[in-house]
Structure 1
Amino acid sequence: KVLHWWHPLTDEGLKTEMTDDLLWLPYMVIRYLKETADFQLLQHEVPFYDGGKATLFEHCTKAIDVVFSRFSKRGLPLIGEGDWCDGFNTMGLDWKGESAWLGMFLYTILTEWLELLTRLDAKKYHDVIHLYQKKALNLKEALNTYAWNGQWYIAATKDDGTPIGDPSQEEAKIYLMSQTWAVISGIANEERKQQVMEAILQHLEADTGLMLLYPAFTKPDKYVGYITRYAPGLRENGGVYTHAATWGVMALAMAKRPHDMYRIFSKLNPILQAHRDADKYMAEPYVLPGNSDGKDSRYHGRAGWTWYTGSAGWLFTIAHEYIVGVRPDYDGLIIDPCFPPEWDSIKVRRPFRNAVYNIIIQNPKRVCGGVEEIEVDGKRINGHIIPVFNEGTHEVIVSLKG
């Protein structure tokens, strides 16, 4: 058991049957390890909420295994009281409804966890690696068989099997998260990647970013959840929910669509929105809003819930790691930019572990990515990963190829 909406100052949280909460632990542990290489942390003992204690490594593995214990006969994870979208809180109360997004999130974690296990001790974890490889393969196949409707990936199914995020429905015909994470997770092949990116731009692009779903729910549905009780176009119900929209930027960058990516990134920028029409935008220009109204709202483009959202951290990270393209990995800093070809260069100062890297990415051929050459302290290196240095400041020059 884990708690939802944890408040550290009061040590309080909400007991729910949300099905994604526990998976954020292994996801963030992997990110932490790539940044720090502090593998000893995995052996740190941590108490369980419901009694007992185990190492952090065991906590992460148990989180993965618990989700695997809650699968449908079709091989998709059950949604329970909601996945990332808290508003889907009644969709799976009978433990029959499925979540396509949760399957994609789990697949992302599995592929990363498999790499970690191999690095730690491939021989010791041989049986677990073999098991997770098989489960990942089956999950990918199930998602591409049962969550794919021919045009895009559905969001979920209700307990009675009704799909959400499907063209067969009157409302919520398409859902952003299933398309972006199909790209982020790698479960979609190249053809489907481009198809779902086209779909979100065609159906979900609004004045301030990408809407979470469209068209909005117009009447409450007790078998979907409280999302249907929001006014159409407000918050999760067809609004631009900033947290989800940041992953849209990430997916477009990963799909190598720099112009689309940067257009959506710019639409999320509160400074630009306030400059464009401050009266319409209504929110402060110096902080990200939690959401802004979508096309089904009479106040389309109005922002709200500022000073609240954690998506500021996500947008900052995505800008650095997928637009500028400097992101941490176990063996160093990966260089993989995706930015508009009009940009001639970027300068980055990146502290990483015990060293500092002054990085210049040069773009004389006006391309959007693709590393041709990297020099570190005047010496050319192979590949596109800057190696780890134990100390000092290092000068890095990256040249992009045409």
Structure 2
Amino acid sequence: MYIIGGLIKTMAGEDIADGYLRTEDGKITEIGRRDEMAFHPAPHERVIEVREGLIMPGIIEAHCHMGITEEKKGMEGDDCNETVNPLTPYLRAVDAVNTMDAAFDDAVRAGITSAMIGPGSANVVGGQFAFLKTRGRRVDDLIVRAPAAMKVAFGENPKVNYSGQGKSPSTRMAIAAMLREELFRAQAYGRNKKKALAAGEDFEEDFALECWLPVLEREIPLKAHVHRVDDIFTAVRIAKEFHLKMTLDHCSEGHLIAEELAAEGFPAIVGPDLASRSKIEVQNMAFKTVGILNRAGVMTAVTTDHPVSLIQALPLCAGLAVKSGLDLEEGYRSITIHPAVICGVADRVGSLEVGKDADIAIFTGNPMEVFTETLYTIIDGQVVYEAGND
């Protein structure tokens, strides 16, 4: 397929005015200026003329519960939290994602081509996130990376859930202690496994601990639900104690400690700012947080936390962050290359480069502006949405 004309925002360097792209077998094979193009379409190869439109990488949602907390389904469609055990690292998002959830179609219509999806924050350890494409019936076919992160939560949510059940954790101290104990056990398990395998001995794997090894080996990050300053610093403290990678998800009071967080080096996934301040821990939530963190040197992505805010509002949330001080180009990065890097999938998505997945969104203009329309959404080189073909 050829895509010809328009402004190409590659998110990998300079924009290309009046450019072109070619895709083949789901990958980008050519990209450049139209006047440098050797036009040689194969028989029946599709050619899309963009003219005045904007071509950019497919938008990425870095943190949501799409397909796990289904719309309009009530308890029957809510598989977000296993609220009877505060430590459930062995749960896998891919076992609960319903790709028939209407949110997937909404995402595609908004130019969102991939998303990080996983359990909620009712538990100290919620389970394993997966990074998925947003179009397809069978979840196994949508996987880019799974597991992609291990969800942990600090603050109000675990406290509220378990103090009501009359068991730990009912304090922030207990949340931190239970996570430390879990990590301590997982470290011991990992050492024992390595020792046994090195000695050629049999080793009985533990399903509840085996899932921690990619975290301890820094292959995937902790995905830490944190809003308040104190919870953010507790998460940082524990990640440093165990030498772990981590993302700071929500980070609602991050703007109050931006310089300190920049020095620590953990990225932030900020939002959902397009939502009410429904809890005490989000009383300082604001769209300005993204820009303040970004200017301080923290890599930032914007999130809707769907369904807290609707998935299709993701580019508009980035726009509201720009309105509140985030640099415009960083606004584009906050929904493309930054979430790709943060989620560990930048080798495949997040920018338009030869060899990467042909995940492309084409708009009438800047998608962060409310009147902009999606013209085409392309995933793995296939047009999955085309304006006027509803």
Q: Is TM > 0.5 for Structure 1 vs Structure 2? A: no
TM-score class, shorter: under 0.3
TM-score for the superposition, normalised by structure 2: 0.27
Higher helix share: 1
